[in-house]
Amino acid sequence: MAITTSLCSPPNHSPTLPTFSISNLPSFQPQSSSSSSSSKFGVNLVSNDALILAAAAEAVTLARAAVNAAREAVEESAAGVGGEVWIYRDGSEANGLVMRRTRRRKRRKNLELLDLEEKGYFENKSFSSGSVKSGYLSRREEVDCCLSLKEGAELEATRIRITDAQEHEPTSKQLAKAIGMEMRSVDKMLCDRRDSQERIYRSYRRLVVSIAVGYQGRGLSLQDLIQEGSIGLLRGAHKFDPDRGHKLSTYVYWWIRQAIIRAIEKKSRLVRLPGNMCMMVAKIAEAKNDLSRRLRRAPTCEEIAEAVDMHVSIIKLVSEKSRTPISLDRTVTDQGCMRLQEIIAGPDETMPEKMVMKRLMKQEVKKLLKSLSDREAHVLRLHFGLNGKSPQTFEEIGRVLKLSRERVRQINGIALSKLRHTSIVDNLRLYLYIL
């Protein structure tokens, strides 16, 4: 009797159960007990060895499949973020913890950028990792576009001049007659100008976005920064001179940057600061950050003033003026509903008691002035501002009354001496302790 055992284990599939091929098996006949027991022992021994080998092969195959599945999951997760697998120099893949942290940082930093991609600001989704210089115009295309922009700018200046003179928009025929060209040529110039603006914007908007991203977090959103940078791009393209030998991207870079910086200075605050004040704010903030890193604490105004070579009073003034305004509709706590305007005291003029007291005091002052002559009362009203206007000097009052400064001073002194001996003055002393 010959018994053969074959183990089938394909490389990419789980192993199958061992199959036994029994050839030349005779028909069942009664034999001796010794031969029967030896045959059974041989079959059991072969079967146990085959099962052990099958279990080991299955464990190895399952482990291999688990490793492959983990590798594929890591590659898919990395490709979902940036389309690339993070690999160290020695060729080993980054662990999952590092990759998760990197993905979180990218999501936090480029959240607005991803929103812009979804809205169609970029032609493809690989902008953040692609080259900024791709899609730029050639030298010949730069010359053609800038020439069209300059011709269109001259045509626009002529249109504005005619509009100011006639107080209405000129027609294409009037515009063509004013510049000595055919109407067809004027229409072509206007179309070429619009096409050139659109072409320059589409070719260099990646440059605009790359500059605008660096100015995030300064009071304007990324969309606003891109809009202001695009305006600077077109302004720089109008002033570009190809004969100087520079590239358009090099020239408009500074126009884009300047437009973004000025927009931040003018539009990032609720209360706009002057240009020189914005420069001082940036200089003081830079010095403050530098001192904080070196001293490992918040620097004082004296230390900042010494670092920027300014007076301490200027540092305090700039720090006070650059504070962010707080809305009165803001809630006191995150959980509560009470607003700041409900607990912050208003000016005294808005209190009913103060308003009534001031009205009564004005009535007493009018009674007091009635005890004087008209000229004396008029001089006191002008000198002390009792008529609701700003107080005036004796010289200014003299020019109004056509009197000398000394004479006005004498009239004022006589009027005050009369009021001191009036009984109504005692009624006014009460308001000194109330108001």
Listed residue (49, 65, 53) closest to 14, CA to CA: 65
Say if residue 302 is in the same domain as residue 256: no
Say if residue 191 is in the same domain as residue 147: yes
The pLDDT tens digits for 36-57 are 444 444 444 445 566 666 667 7
Say if residue 204 is in the same domain as residue 248: yes
Say if residue 362 is in the same domain as residue 335: no
Mean pLDDT along residues 78-98: 47
DSSP 247: -
pLDDT of residue 110: 54
Say if residue 339 is in the same domain as residue 396: no
Give the number of residues written for the chain: 435
Distance of alpha carbon 311 from alpha carbon 262, whole angstroms: 26
> 32 lies in a domain?
no
> 130 lies in a domain?
no
**pLDDT tier at 11 (50, 70, 90 boundaries)?**
very low
DSSP assignment string, 193-209 = HHHHHHHHHHHHHHHHH
For residue 315, the enclosing domain spans 282-344
**pLDDT tier at 105 (50, 70, 90 boundaries)?**
low
Share of the chain above pLDDT 70, in %: 70
> 238 lies in a domain?
yes
Say if residue 295 is in the same domain as residue 264: no
Q: Looking at the predicted structure, is the pLDDT value of residue 17 above 60?
A: no
Say if residue 199 is in the same domain as residue 216: yes
> 152 lies in a domain?
yes
Say if residue 94 is in the same domain as residue 158: no
Say if residue 159 is in the same domain as residue 238: yes
**pLDDT tier at 77 (50, 70, 90 boundaries)?**
low
Assign residue 24 a region: left if phi > 0, alpha if psi is -120 to 50, beta otherwise?
A: left
pLDDT of residue 357: 82
127 vs 101 pLDDT, higher one: 101
Domain boundary, last residue among 268, 302, 334: 268
Q: Say how many domains are in the chain.
A: 4
> 330 lies in a domain?
yes
**pLDDT tier at 22 (50, 70, 90 boundaries)?**
very low
The pLDDT tens digits for 408-426 are 999 999 988 888 887 777 7
The pLDDT tens digits for 351-369 are 777 788 888 888 888 888 8
Distance of alpha carbon 3 from alpha carbon 18, whole angstroms: 13
Domain boundary, last residue among 207, 242, 268: 268
pLDDT of residue 111: 53
The pLDDT tens digits for 157-178 are 777 887 777 777 777 777 777 7
Domain boundary, last residue among 344, 371, 396: 344
433 vs 269 pLDDT, higher one: 269
**pLDDT tier at 231 (50, 70, 90 boundaries)?**
very high
Mean pLDDT along residues 327-350: 75
Q: Which of 94-108, 302-316, 319-333 has the highest mean pLDDT?
A: 302-316
pLDDT of residue 75: 59
> 329 lies in a domain?
yes
Say if residue 331 is in the same domain as residue 358: no
> 335 lies in a domain?
yes
SS3 readout for 271-327? CCCCHHHHHHHHHHHHHHHHHHHHHCCCCCHHHHHHHHCCCHHHHHHHHHHCCCCCC
- The model's pTM is 0.46
CATH code of 403's domain: 1.10.10.10
Listed residue (239, 238, 217, 215) closest to 228, CA to CA: 215
Mean pLDDT along residues 116-144: 57
> 132 lies in a domain?
no
Distance of alpha carbon 247 from alpha carbon 307, whole angstroms: 39
Say if residue 156 is in the same domain as residue 258: yes
**pLDDT tier at 281 (50, 70, 90 boundaries)?**
confident
360 vs 117 pLDDT, higher one: 360
Say if residue 262 is in the same domain as residue 332: no
DSSP assignment string, 346-367 = --GGGSHHHHHHHHHHHHHHHH
Give me the chain's average pLDDT, please: 74
